[in-house]
């Protein structure tokens, strides 16, 4: 049992450590996205630096690696909450061994882990995220706010393991977005070129 647990945590961490943004940028665009835009290797900066197609590729990989990690207990036939293993993938995404421990902000990978546990819950959160993104045109604001709402919503599921994991993810995401939060307060945060917020900026 202990060997299986160690193997799952290690594999989940390695899955999370897959730096999709860095690899897609270097292999297909000859660009290290960590040297451009926000300097982050995650999905948002991939969209900003490499464009829509690359951003979608990075998003899919970041989500799927979280889902794959969450499904490891099923694969190993171990009765263990998927969120417990999934947190290792999230840590891997933030501190990837394959990219000098400098990774993304964990939003997409966290969503992937949530898919493995409760797809319906995730769909509701995605809907909230998209609404917030359309209204504000700020990925950072939409991400942080959605995670905070996700924590409070998780309490209604009466699954303390899930709620605890979501709380940990929420804190991690907020900490990773501290510079974004500062810019939001100063009215200087970057906006994506669509939504009501982008229209307000153009005016």
Instruction: Give the span between the Cα atoms of 62 and 52, in whole angstroms.
Output: 15
Q: Are 112 and 83 in contact (CB under 8 A)?
A: no
Number of H helices, E strands in the chain: 12, 0
The full length of the chain comes to: 203
Distances (CA, A) of 7 to 39, 72, 95, 178, 199: 32, 10, 19, 33, 49
Say what the pLDDT of residue 199 is.
63
Q: What is the secondary structure of 30-95 as a DSSP string?
A: S--GGGSTTS--SHHHHHHHH-HHHHHHHHHHHHHHHHHHHTHHHHTT----HHHHHHHHHHHHHS
Alpha carbons within 13 A on the beta-carbon side of 85: 31
Structure tokens at 32: 């290290």
Say what the pLDDT of residue 200 is.
58
Say what the pLDDT of residue 30 is.
93
Q: Are 71 and 102 in contact (CB under 8 A)?
A: no
Structure tokens at 1: 């049992």
pLDDT in tens for each of the 203 residues of the chain? Answer: 789 999 999 999 999 999 999 999 999 999 999 899 878 888 888 888 898 899 899 999 999 999 999 999 999 999 999 999 999 999 999 999 999 898 888 899 999 999 999 999 999 999 999 999 999 989 899 999 999 999 999 999 999 999 999 999 999 999 989 999 999 999 988 887 767 776 655 54
Name the burial class of residue 203, with classes exposed (0-12), middle (13-18) and buried (19+) by CB atoms within 10 angstroms of its CB: exposed
Structure tokens at 26: 């270097």
Say what the pLDDT of residue 114 is.
94
| Residue among 104, 175, 115, 189 at smallest CA distance from 150 | 115
pTM exceeds 0.85 for this model:
yes
């Amino acid at each position: 049992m202990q060997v299986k647990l160690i193997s799952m945590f290690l594999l989940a961490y390695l899955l999370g450590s897959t730096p999709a943004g860095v690899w897609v940028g270097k292999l297909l665009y000859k660009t290290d996205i960590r040297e451009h835009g926000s300097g982050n290797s995650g999905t948002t900066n991939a969209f900003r630096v490499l464009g829509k197609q690359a951003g979608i590729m990075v998003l899919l990989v970041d989500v799927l690696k979280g889902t794959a990690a969450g499904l490891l207990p099923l694969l190993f036939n171990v009765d263990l909450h998927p969120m417990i293993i999934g947190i290792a993938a999230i840590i891997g995404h933030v501190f990837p061994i394959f990219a000098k421990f400098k990774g993304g902000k964990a939003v997409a990978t966290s969503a992937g882990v949530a898919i493995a546990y409760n797809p319906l819950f995730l769909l509701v959160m995605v809907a909230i995220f998209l609404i917030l993104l359309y209204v504000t045109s700020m990925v950072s604001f939409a991400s942080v706010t959605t995670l905070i709402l996700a924590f409070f919503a998780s309490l209604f599921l009466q699954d303390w393991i899930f709620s605890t994991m979501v709380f940990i993810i929420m804190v991690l995401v907020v900490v990773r977005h501290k510079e974004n939060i500062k810019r939001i307060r100063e009215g200087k945060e970057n906006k994506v070129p669509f939504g009501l917020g982008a229209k307000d900026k153009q005016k």
